Amino acid sequence: MKRTFAIVIALFLTVGAYAQIVTPVKWAYAAKKTGPTEVTVLLKASIDAGWHIYSQNVKEGGPIKTSFTFAKSKDYMLVGKTIEPKPITKFEDAFKMNVSYFEKEVVFQQKIKLKSANVATIKGQLEYMTCNNQKCLPPEDVNFTIPVGK
Q: Where residue 22 falls among pLDDT bands split at 50, 70, 90?
A: confident
Residue 116: per-residue pLDDT: 87
In a domain, 43, yes or no: yes
Total domains in the chain come to 1
Residue 72: per-residue pLDDT: 94
Residue pair 8/1 in contact (Cβ under 8 Å)? The answer is no
Q: Where residue 4 falls among pLDDT bands split at 50, 70, 90?
A: very low
In a domain, 3, yes or no: no
The pLDDT tens digits of the residues spanning 60-88 come to: 999 999 999 999 999 999 999 999 999 99
- Across the range 17-45, mean pLDDT stands at 88
Model confidence, pTM:
0.84
In a domain, 64, yes or no: yes
DSSP letter string, the chain: -HHHHHHHHHHHHHHHHHHT----EEEEEEEEEEETTEEEEEEEEEE-TT-EEE-S-PPTTSSPPPEEEEPP-SSEEEEEEEE--PPEEEEETTTTEEEEEEESEEEEEEEEEES-TT--EEEEEEEE-EE-SS-BPPPEEEEEEEE---
Strand partners, 114: 76
Share of the chain above pLDDT 70, in %: 86
Residue 21: per-residue pLDDT: 79
In a domain, 126, yes or no: yes
Whichever domain contains 47, its CATH number is 2.60.40.1250
Residue 150: per-residue pLDDT: 60
- Share the mean pLDDT of the chain: 88
- Across the range 129-138, mean pLDDT stands at 94
Domain of 93? Answer: 24-147
- Looking at per-residue confidence, does 25 or 133 come out higher? 25
